[in-house]
């Protein structure tokens, strides 16, 4: 790991003690290839800072993104009123997807009938998919929702839960 980067993160942690985290995701052709896929492996660097009250759920926020594909979900308009900010959502790996090797579905909790909302975006889902494949406890939390004509914008945080 780059010693300069570690020192910079320590300085940031001292300057901003309530900051949540620093996450860097690197994709490079030089990284080793894993399994049957032709995609290079992704490396993930996480610098955890002091976060006693940064998130209501115990864990580390790995990703913030819009949910992709909400315009393709039938009956989402009727389920939208039940969605609320802070709502915990399920992340389900779809390893057999013919469109995306790293597909991760976003659904409401099983107690709410598991409504399929969409996917994590294809360009940002590889690290989350790898963590799910490895059995890490991940969860999503709804942070924003708004209608833009017929498009329901849903923004989520992906959280690595404390064990």
CATH of the domain at 63: 3.30.70.2330
65 & 104 share domain: yes
Same domain, 86 and 68: yes
In a shared domain, residues 41 and 81 = no
62 and 33 both lie in a single domain? no
Whether residue 37 is predicted with pLDDT greater than 50 in this model: the reply is no
CA distance 69 to 35: 27
Residues 50 and 64 in one domain: no
Q: Which residue has the higher pLDDT, 109 or 46?
A: 109
Q: How many domains does the chain fold into?
A: 2
Q: Average pLDDT in the 9-25 region?
A: 44
Please tell me whether residue 128 adopts helix, strand or coil conformation.
Answer: helix
The percent of residues above 70 in pLDDT, for the chain, comes to: 64
Full domain range(s) for residue 137: 58-163
């Amino acid at each position: 790991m780059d010693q300069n980067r570690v020192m910079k993160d320590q300085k940031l942690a001292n300057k901003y003690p309530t900051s949540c985290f620093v996450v860097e995701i690197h994709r490079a052709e030089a990284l080793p290839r894993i399994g049957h896929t032709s995609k290079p492996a992704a490396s993930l660097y996480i610098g955890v800072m002091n976060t006693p009250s940064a998130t209501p759920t115990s864990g580390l926020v790995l990703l913030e993104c819009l949910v992709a594909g909400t315009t393709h979900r039938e009956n989402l308009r009727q389920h939208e009123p039940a969605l609320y900010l802070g709502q915990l959502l399920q992340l389900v790996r779809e390893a057999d997807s013919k469109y995306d090797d790293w597909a991760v579905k976003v659904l409401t909790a099983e107690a709410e009938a598991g409504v399929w909302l969409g996917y994590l975006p294809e360009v940002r889902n590889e690290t989350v998919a790898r963590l799910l494949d490895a059995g890490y406890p991940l969860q999503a939390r709804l942070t924003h929702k708004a209608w833009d004509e017929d498009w329901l914008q849903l923004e989520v945080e992906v959280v690595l839960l404390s064990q």
